Amino acid sequence: MSKRDLYEILGISNNASNDDIKKAYRKLAMKYHPDRNPNNKEAEDKFKEIQSAYEILGDPEKRASYDRFGSAGIDPNNMNNGMGGFAEAFGDIFGDIFGSSSRRSSNSSFKGSDLKYSLDITLEQAAKGFSTEIRVPGWEKCDSCNGTGSRKGVAPITCRTCNGMGSLRLQQGFFSVQQTCHKCHGSGKEIPDPCYVCNGSGTKKINKTLQVNTPAGIDDGMRVRLSGHGEPGINNGSPGDLYVEVHIKPHNLFKRKGDDLHCDLTIPFTLAALGGTLQIPTLEGKAEIKIAEGTQSNSVLRLKNKGIRNVRGLSNGDLYCHIIVETPIKLSNDQKEILKKFDASLKEGSEKHLPQTQSWIERVKKFFK
């Protein structure tokens, strides 16, 4: 059961209020409840996924840890500690709930949940590819008890709360729901003599250092999978995966749109009027761009293949320069006189030299007629 995006599972945003989380859980739990979807494995799996998401997001401390580290910040052995998501979210509707055993098998093994880690990188690193080490909290099998949670030589016993089934059926009248046993955490076993190293959890918390290699052209929100570095499995199930989600920091010059780059290019009005060439920065170094005579503000110039290489290596994006013509300020008296003479010369052929200005004047005249 993936925990890569718990907010998406419940269909809410990551700034949702506690009430919004509870309402979303109620709605989805009613929709996918096994009693409403008999013999529907897909609905049953969806219901379990919804429960797991609510058990984290419905707890302020677990939610804060999840927002910071993803599921790596949540101890898998502290899940379902009590009545959990269903009883809390539906308690005000159904009141007191009592339990009975369910049909879940305690011998089943389950793959560990996937984890998420957020990695911030620069635009340059995204364009060229980047390797780094990350440190993430996690859990692994306890070496002392080999993950059983029991002291060596002492075998676990059948859980007396769920009679070894691993879960309880919570019922109120005609409505019932399956809930993981809070005593054995779904294993169906109790540990009378817990391991002194892990205190019976079967796991130990660690800080792992992992190598992450991001490919050239990776975009914001894309993920790199590190297989086998998720949560440990239950009942000797295989571990989940760690998904490193990349977030690209804002750049002081360029904005990325797909594989293309965009930037503002400010030029003096003399260059805009007379034309010429200009050296500009790109992610690969300097490039020369040609400014045509009479270039106007908001013109867009394109430099082909100067964007970012597609992450699949198929092509390069382009660089788009958005022209801003700068008006000079703090002119000397001599400069002002020169501009006045220049302005007078333009007015002699305004339709030729200033077509946009002349067009605007004509529209104003029509407006006041």
Query: Hey, what are 175's tokens?
Result: 């409505």
- 198 annotated as a binding-site residue: yes
The residues, ordered by sequence, that sit 6+ positions from 81 with a Cβ below 8 Å of its Cβ are 182, 185
Say which residue the tokens 């993430």 belong to.
136
Round to whole Å and give the CA distance between 143 and 198: 9
State the number of CA atoms in the 13 A half-sphere of 54 facing the CB.
28
> In this structure, are residues 182 and 79 in contact, taking their beta carbons and an 8 Å threshold?
no
Round to whole Å and give the CA distance between 192 and 303: 71
- 321 annotated as a binding-site residue: no
Q: DSSP string of 92-146?
A: HHH-S-EEEE-S--TT--BPPPPEEEEEEE-HHHHHH-EEEEEEEEEEEE-TTTT
DSSP element (H, E) containing 167: strand 167-172
> In this structure, are residues 198 and 142 in contact, taking their beta carbons and an 8 Å threshold?
yes
Say which residue the tokens 């999840």 belong to.
66
Question: Which is it for strands 115-121 and 242-248: parallel, antiparallel or unpaired?
Answer: parallel
Round to whole Å and give the CA distance between 288 and 282: 10
> In this structure, are residues 168 and 100 in contact, taking their beta carbons and an 8 Å threshold?
yes
Round to whole Å and give the CA distance between 81 and 184: 9
- 184 annotated as a binding-site residue: yes
Query: Hey, what are 30's tokens?
Result: 């009613």
- 263 annotated as a binding-site residue: no
Round to whole Å and give the CA distance between 76 and 62: 11
Say which residue the tokens 């998406």 belong to.
8
Residues belonging to the binding site are 142, 145, 159, 162, 181, 184, 195, 198
Residues belonging to the binding site for Zn(2+) are 142, 145, 159, 162, 181, 184, 195, 198
